[in-house]
Structure 1
């Protein structure tokens, strides 16, 4: 492959078609439920080690799980202790007895009274004394504040079961099913997404009846509200953005080895690259000769390549699950992955740079000391990497926000050689909007955080270009080292004399 300055990597259809990367992109595209014969009207719910349970429903597509308010759900598994019970699955009204009834009785109970010899009617649940405050999710009568919003008993119970049992729902339609009282049990995916869209959160613990003031305000604000509002353009757009957040959240958790939960279980090895390669400065000398230094540099880089290669696999798999990414041509997909990989890898690994100990920790527990990285690259470049990593870590982003940001890096429309930059830009615009929404919800008091995140993009771009320039030295010495094929391809390292001549 031809070497390019900066982050440009010229690609050709012939090159893409026969590459290791192309083979990765050519599999596991995901399943379009509507393309499968006989699957229409089926709903799948996955549970840990229990296979897949399908139930006849008339809706559903695919669900991923969202940010920190449903963080426990992103691992796509059901609680091992309880499994997936019928209460979360059956196409019957769920929740309390109040939900299993329809609307309050329309006929009034008559109470006899001796007052003036007249019969007095008992107050009706729909009377003016009890204003109708709708559930934010389905429009049924709200019973109070549950998980941060006014909601009915049914939606309260549904949301509670969803986050406790860690259920993954799927929508076999387009993910925009209407959620109203009469059909709220039809598509659990869209119902759960609606719960999140209106603001339900496991971290919101305000419960109780709706106060009179709120009832009055709600009554005035929703007096003209009906089910048609569910179809408004604004709500549809917001729900579409939540779809992006859900998709990216699950993709990131499934295909990133350094999420918050996974980092906690990483073993800590003591050996560094020098020790793993058993290269030590000979006794009686304090420095390496130039030849020894170059040999050591190549061997350490080879070891580094082995440690980085699993991340290439994970970024490729992550990219396949970025909404609309697979709609791009394979050539464009390859260009975006190759030119964006180092920036994505550095973003993911930011929290693994330990400035106190001056080491970089990998997900298998391997350590690389700062002085070793100085040899593999150079001290100035490594100073920039450590500083950027420290600055990014200080932003305190959660895993979903990191996933959205890496998606934005992936969908950079000005990479050289793209045939459809407009299509790439549309993907990035949706991801930016999703990140903006996510940050506003999770960091409402940090007004400048979103801008600070976006400002990291040019810093990463600069480091990516510098890294590509430093690879020239290794490309010219490709015969001295054996690299994993995927690593060699992602960074355009020749694997044969023919490759070297064309670069």
Structure 2
């Protein structure tokens, strides 16, 4: 036999010995079935492990019909419990190692929690359906190209105090009468006429007000339709619907405007037209609202949110139980909590970049920050109404910012 043949023969012999050792190590010492590990201090199968545990807990006295001489195999192990138990004890299985029912359940709970932590997060079918409904309602009511919006030119005469620059045109839109059902508490009927531009002033205050008002009205219309597209919103009492819409309108508008915000230019790109913060200045809004609002848009845009995350932000803002006038707080609180969970799971399951665990709290922080600007926005709108000579605000806008429930 040459050297190559001797080496091959030796390898085959070693392989056979290793296989035999592995087979012996995986054999139940009680019945000869395939073992699953060491149980109660002996290598056994699952069947013998369970049999030994039950026998020790029941404290039953078994009797062998054959004077205790049965040979236990995996085929006949159920025929003689006495000999099977005797074999369990002879191979070293110990009663003291059996855990109590409470300890077993505690261990199982720990294992389940560990698996849940290790298991990659995944949206449930119900959560997927929630997202689908929200996205569908958003797509039908968010006119990103402003194709259904009629613009009219803005006569811009920038004053030296301007700090942001851009170009834009002003929209012209008629209100939809069906929105009245959501704002039925208003004593003033919703106007369906077009706006007329106010008298130009030397300091350029209010020159863009009708254009900003038109744009705001158009956004309000779409946001109301967005809410109407949600089954959970339609199921609420009408008074709660009105309170939620009034409370969240400014916040949802800013979320939608942020989807149009260009962080490189500082402008809002509304289809073919572009607006800048200076347009809001010349509409009569003041810096102590606009400065933090501008910073907010940069902060939110830099999060680079996906459309689904923007839409979930809108829904979380809409279903806020602490809004003034809300009656059924518990119902709305559960809706908001479920939406927040969907957002968290979506981020955990869909995002892959490092630091994704910080995105969820950052989004919640942005929602909280908008709350601080919401009341100031209403105050400034009402202040403009008081001091400017021409009424450029439609009753729909005034109803949204009014404090009456």
Sort the TM-score into its range (normalised by shorter chain). Answer: 0.5 to 0.7
2:385 maps to 1:475: yes
Structure of higher CA gyration radius: 2
Among 310, 313, 317, which residue is 1:405 paired with?
Answer: 313
What CA distance in whole angstroms lies between the structure 1 residues aligned with 2:217 and 2:381? 16
Alignment of 1:373-412 (within 5 A): 373-375=280-282, 376-412=284-320
d(CA) in 2 for partners of 1:266 and 1:357?
A: 25
1:415 to 296, 300, 323: 323
CA contact (8 A) 2:261 2:269 kept: yes
Per-residue deviation, 1:439: 1.2
Question: Structure 1 residue 459 and structure 2 residue 369: aligned?
Answer: yes
Report if the CA contact (8 A) 1:273-1:372 is conserved. Answer: no
1:313 Cα deviation after fit:
1.3
- 1:254 has 2:103 as partner: no
For the residues of structure 2 that align with 1:305 and 1:458, how far apart are their CA atoms?
25
User: Does structure 2 retain, via aligned residues, the 8 Å contact 1:298–1:481?
Assistant: no
Structure 2 length as normaliser, TM-score? Answer: 0.53
Please state if 1:431 is matched with 2:339: yes
| Paired position in structure 1 for 2:267 | 359
Q: Distance in 2 between matches of 1:280 and 1:351?
A: 26
Matched, 1:371 2:309: no
Q: Please state how far the C-alpha of 1:391 moved relative to its aligned partner.
A: 1.1
Q: Does the 8 Å contact 1:407/1:431 carry over to 2?
A: yes
Write out per-residue CA displacement over residues 292-340 of structure 1, whole angstroms, 9 at most, x where no aligned residue: 6588433422220111212111111111223411111111101111111
Q: Please show how residues 184-195 of structure 1 align to structure 2 within 5 Å.
A: none
SS in 1 for 2:372: helix
Match for 2:127 among 237, 241, 244? Answer: 241
1:290-329 to structure 2, matched below 5 A, reads 293=201, 296-329=204-237
Conserved in 2, the CA contact under 8 Å of 1:249 and 1:400? yes
Which structure shows the bigger proportion of residues in helix conformation? Answer: 2
How many residues end up aligned between the 2 structures?
244
Aligned-pair RMSD on alpha carbons?
A: 3.4
Unaligned runs of 5+ in 1: 1-234, 494-501
Unaligned runs of 5+ in 2: 1-120, 162-198
Alpha-carbon offset, residue 246 of structure 1: 1.2
Alignment partner, residue 350 of structure 2: 442
Confirm whether residue 337 of structure 1 aligns to residue 245 of structure 2.
Answer: yes
Q: TM-score, normalised by structure 1?
A: 0.44
For the Cα contact (< 8 Å) 2:344–2:360, is it kept in 1? yes
- The C-alpha deviation readout for 1:22-48, integer Å capped at 9, x for no partner, is xxxxxxxxxxxxxxxxxxxxxxxxxxx
Partner of 1:166: none
Give, in whole Å, the separation in 1 of the partners of 2:398 and 2:158: 27
| In structure 2, distance between residues paired with 1:395 and 1:436 | 15
User: How many angstroms does 1:484 deviate by?
Assistant: 3.3
Indicate the SS of the match to 2:275.
Answer: strand
Deviation at residue 272 of structure 1 after TM alignment: 7.1
Contact 1:255–1:317 (8 Å) recurs in 2? yes
Contact 2:269-2:275 within 8 A present in 1 as well: yes
Residue 479 of structure 1: CA displacement? 5.9
Q: 2:203, 2:326 → 1: CA distance? A: 37
TM superposition shift of 1:408:
0.2
**Is contact 1:408–1:431 with CA below 8 Å preserved after alignment?**
yes
Give the distance between the partners of 1:294 and 1:477, measured in 2 at CA: 16
Give the 5 Å matches for 1:17-416: 238-258=124-144, 262=145, 273-275=154-156, 293=201, 296-363=204-271, 365-375=272-282, 376-416=284-324
Secondary structure of 1:452 counterpart:
helix
Q: Which has the higher relative contact order, 1 or 2, with Cα contacts under 8 A spaced 6 or more apart?
A: 1
